[in-house]
Amino acid sequence: MFLAALRQKTFRGLQAAVLAGRFAGGRAYGYRYVLRADAAGRAVNGIMKVDERQAALVRRIFADFAGGQPALAIATALNAEKVPGPRGGSWNGSTIRGNPSQLVGILNNPLYAGRLVRGRREWGEGSGL
């Protein structure tokens, strides 16, 4: 019962963060966390800012895909240019394409369209790239 109550409280807290316009997930390529304090001086978590260098790459990925290039070809080009992937390693097709049902991969991440999602449910609006 304790774990069920803890899970429910955690879920409500994450939902409140997203409804307040804060990001409640992990890392997102093209964004970086910003340290901010509220009026009382307490740290406010989940504030993200666009990382322009990475955001330009995300925009390029979308443009290349919209221009007809498959995800694997985009990943191959990025690797040939020695562009580090989101976790510092190589790019691959699934990093770019991801899985639409799981809302993962750069092309399927709703955050890039300005929608905040937690637990595969959309709750609020983000900034979008």
Please name the residues in contact with 76: beta carbons below 8 A apart, sequence gap of 6 or more. 91
Residue-level length of the chain: 129
Q: Which of 15, 37, 33 is nearest to 24 (CA)?
A: 15
Structure tokens at 20: 């307040």
* Whether residue 82 has pLDDT greater than 80: yes
Domains of the chain, first to last: 2-125 (3.90.1750.20)
Q: What is the CB neighbour count within 10 angstroms for residue 5?
A: 9
pLDDT at position 45 is 67
Q: What is the pLDDT of residue 122?
A: 46
pTM: 0.65
**Which pLDDT value is given to residue 34?**
76
DSSP 76: H
- Distance between CA atoms of residues 111 and 85, nearest Å: 18
Give the pLDDT confidence of 35-81 residue by residue, as tens digits: 777 778 777 666 778 889 999 999 999 999 999 999 999 999 999 99
The pLDDT of residue 59? 95
Q: What is the mean pLDDT of residues 8-20?
A: 64
Indicate the average pLDDT of the chain.
78
